Amino acid sequence: MALLAISVFLAYYFHAVLMLGTVFSHFFYIPIILTALWWEKRSILVAAFLGGLIVVSTLLYMPDLLTLNDYGRALMFIVIAFVVSSLSEQIKGREREVKRQRDLMQRYLDVAGVLFVVIGTDRTIRLINRHGCELLGYREEELLGKDWFDTVVPEALREARRRVFDEAIARKAALPEQREKPVVTRSGDELILAWQDTVFTGDDGRPVGLIGSGADITDRIQAEEALRESHDEANLYLDIMTHDINNANAVALGYADLLAETLSGREREMVQRLRAGVDRSIEIIQNVTTIRRLHSEETAVKPVDLDAIVRAEIAHHPGARITYEERPIRVMADDLLSEVFANLIGNAEKFGDPEVEIAVRVEERNDLVEVEVEDTGPGVDDAVKPGLFTRFSRGTSSRSGKGLGLYITRMLVERYGGQVWVDDRVPGRPECGAAFRFTLLRCDRPWESSRPPAPATGRVVTARP
């Protein structure tokens, strides 16, 4: 209204007082453009009023100077008002659409169960969702425009995190993997977030900011730490128990051997049963130790000398009839592979009679190595075979153990990427002995044996003639 009043005064002053038809009407574009930006199409009325003001003022005070130029100028006012108002409508429409999309995105982010934040290239918070505000203990207006690092990053980590942020903006790419990042809440509590972010750019390709998301994993980290401490404490107790039981078993075995040498008859038999019980205790401790190592990170798969492992295990059974043809082959396994042979050869020796014969064979089959441990013992019934390698599965023999040995064997073989199963040594005749077979992945790396190579024809290792 002030600009229109000025326009009326200028028209009167130049026409009535100065009697001039100058270009003062150029001032009229200012109210026309402003009203077009503010009121859109209603600005055409203002333009029509100002155009009419030019014509009427000229007719009243300077009718002899009225020309087509004055009518054209009045028409130009209306054209300018129409064009500017149309552009204003488009701009406001786009602004409304952007606002609608922003509000929609904000609603999406608000229902998310994790923190979402947009950090500008100037390190300030441009947008943050409701969960992020609740997590950090702030209201949205308290965070918007604040420096992210000064506000929520622990003081000791601020400089390092700023450098990482600046590097990500400079190379237009953030680290792709998820990281654990601590943040500080308004109350001073420190939370750990599973953090992931990405840099986004504008239409010109320049970085606009960084979008980050973080899930609160503080409770999980604390629970894992407590579990780790409990695990370490339990392992300490197991180590102490295993050490003390092994010492007690060693003493018991020593005395049992001394008694066996001095006694005879039924007394000697009782001592041998005592010794068998101690051996069983040693086996249990060994199984527990094996399972613990199997579930630890110490058992990383690597190339191992299969031939050396087989020969070493045969040497632990000097009283058994074991035949084995040496084969210099390396497989993917670890130090626990010897437990597989210890269980299979030990079972064949334990469940067979004193004259049981055991054969270990190794065959290469493409990328696999198939190992067989056969015996002439009582064999395995067909009804028992399907569940023989499951936990606590026992055979039908009165001397069957607790079912852990073959379970450990299966766990180890499967860990190495192989399979294990049991067949009859003579197909269709279980009473003629069992044939335990398993596969391992062959290692194709160059052979580097630590011992002199075996003769080309192969050599048969026999534990007892």
E strand segments, 281-428: 302-305, 321-325, 330-333, 357-365, 368-375, 420-426
Q: Shortest CA distance to 464 belongs to which of 359, 323, 312?
A: 323
Residue 21 pLDDT class (50, 70, 90 cuts): low
How is 53-73 classified by DSSP, letter by letter? Answer: HHHHHHHHH-GGG--HHHHHH
Per-residue pLDDT tens over the stretch 74-119: 788 788 888 888 888 888 888 888 888 777 766 666 666 788 899 9
Residue predicted with more confidence, 393 or 433: 433
- Euclidean distance between CA atoms 340 and 25, whole angstroms: 103
Residue 131 pLDDT class (50, 70, 90 cuts): confident
- Euclidean distance between CA atoms 330 and 441, whole angstroms: 9
28: tokens are 């009229």
How many other CB atoms are found less than 10 A from the CB of residue 141? 8
40: tokens are 């859109």
- Euclidean distance between CA atoms 372 and 248, whole angstroms: 36
Per-residue pLDDT tens over the stretch 228-262: 888 788 777 777 888 788 888 888 888 888 888 88
Q: Which residues contact 28 (CB under 8 A, 6 or more apart)?
A: 7, 50, 54, 77
pLDDT attached to residue 232: 80
Q: For residues 223-250, b (16+ Cβ closer than 10 Å) or e, as one string?
A: eeeeeeeeeeeeeeeeeeeeeeeeeebe
385: tokens are 């075979």
pLDDT attached to residue 80: 81
pLDDT attached to residue 452: 43
φ, ψ at 200 (rounded to 5°): -115, 150
Amino acid code (one letter) for 156: A
Tell me if residue 8 falls in helix, strand or coil: helix
DSSP H/E element including 184: strand 179-184
Per-residue pLDDT tens over the stretch 420-442: 999 999 998 988 899 999 999 99
Q: Which residue has the tokens 């000064």?
A: 150
DSSP H/E element including 30: helix 29-39
- In the predicted model, is pLDDT for residue 65 greater than 60? no
Which of 20-34, 57-71, 140-154, 365-379 comes out lowest in average pLDDT?
A: 57-71
Q: For residues 148-164, b (16+ Cβ closer than 10 Å) or e, as one string?
A: bbebbbeeeeeeebbeb
Contact 221, 194 (CB under 8 A): no
Provide the sign of the torsion angle of the four alpha carbons 249, 255, 257, 259, taken in this order.
negative
pLDDT attached to residue 235: 76
pLDDT attached to residue 106: 66
Most confident of 44-53, 137-146, 231-240: 137-146
pLDDT attached to residue 455: 41
- In the predicted model, is pLDDT for residue 460 greater than 90? no
DSSP H/E element including 234: helix 218-262
- Euclidean distance between CA atoms 169 and 273, whole angstroms: 75
How is 252-284 classified by DSSP, letter by letter? Answer: HHHHHHHHHHH--HHHHHHHHHHHHHHHHHHHH
**Mean pLDDT of all residues in 387-414:** 71
pLDDT attached to residue 450: 42
